[in-house]
Amino acid sequence: MLLVEQGLGDLTRSAYGSDLSLFGRWLATQGQSLLTAGEADVRDYLAHRQRQSTQGKTGFAARSQARHITAARRFYRWLVRENRRKDDPTRLLETPRLGRPLPKTLSPRDAERLLLTPDDSPMGLRDRAMLELMYASGLRVSELVNLPLPRLNITRGVVLILGKGGRERLVPMGEPAQAALQRYLDGARAGFAEGAGSSDAVFLSNRGEAMTRQNFWHRIKLHAKAAGIAATLSPHTLRHAFATHLLENGADLRSVQSLLGHADLSTTQIYTHVAKARLKALHAKHHPRK
């Protein structure tokens, strides 16, 4: 189907599939289906979701609306191409305009405090290696937790990433990440591998299985709290910090795009705004004629 053919990431495909399922279930209550719905049905559904949001039953902000419309539009365009429908009921729908939020990031000082927080226990060695690699290479959380051992080359200081849309990229890591990874592999991973799981993932849980996004995010929050970091973190905070700190220190945008695995340069450009915002805040705080 189209959602797969377009090379979308797993999480995006899952979100679109969930949106279509919700739409399909609502259509069934109206005596319709995804295959028979018309433009009025699509608009009625969006209005229904908006009413629910107004009543506090569910969230339906502009970004959620836009995703629902995009999922439906992709689905119906695919049906038309496959000759399963003659018309596209989403053709005249307008996608809500979205303001692009700045990614949440960390100052270099806070990033350093976070990286130094894990202790020398097996779990601490694992967490330190994960944090160091994410900050050193700008990996997505999904790329980090799903990284298999054969794609990690500590000696050469590189990691081969299979990113969104099946695109591969070779990303370097610094010496601190190399050292943290070596300590984890030498002194902790074998113990985790004794669990019931049989994963070849670099980073393992206590059960011997690959770490999940949720587990890793829980660990980050624990370490951030221990480090006294008050900023609200997101799952990709260290990835955002990686990009922002590179740009603040003179890296060119195209290189950062390549390291992050962005297909479109405009996606990377958001980090230039983050860097400028941070510089303006520093100027306002420290300049004597602020």
- Positions annotated as catalytic residues are 140, 164, 236, 239, 262, 271
Q: Which helix (H) or strand (E) segment is 62 a member of?
A: helix 62-81
How far is the C-alpha of 232 from the C-alpha of 253, rounded, in Å?
Answer: 26
Catalogue the E-assigned strands of the chain. 152-153, 158-162, 168-172
How far is the C-alpha of 28 from the C-alpha of 202, rounded, in Å?
Answer: 45
Do the strands 168-172 and 152-153 form a parallel or antiparallel pair, or are they unpaired? Answer: unpaired
Pair 118, 222: CB distance under 8 Å: no
The backbone torsions φ and ψ at residue 210, rounded to the nearest 5 degrees and listed phi first, read -60, 140
| Burial of residue 114, with CB atoms counted within 10 A of its CB: 0-12 exposed, 13-18 middle, 19 or more buried | buried
Give the residue ranges of DSSP H helices in 120-264.
Answer: 122-137, 141-145, 175-187, 189-193, 213-226, 237-248, 253-260
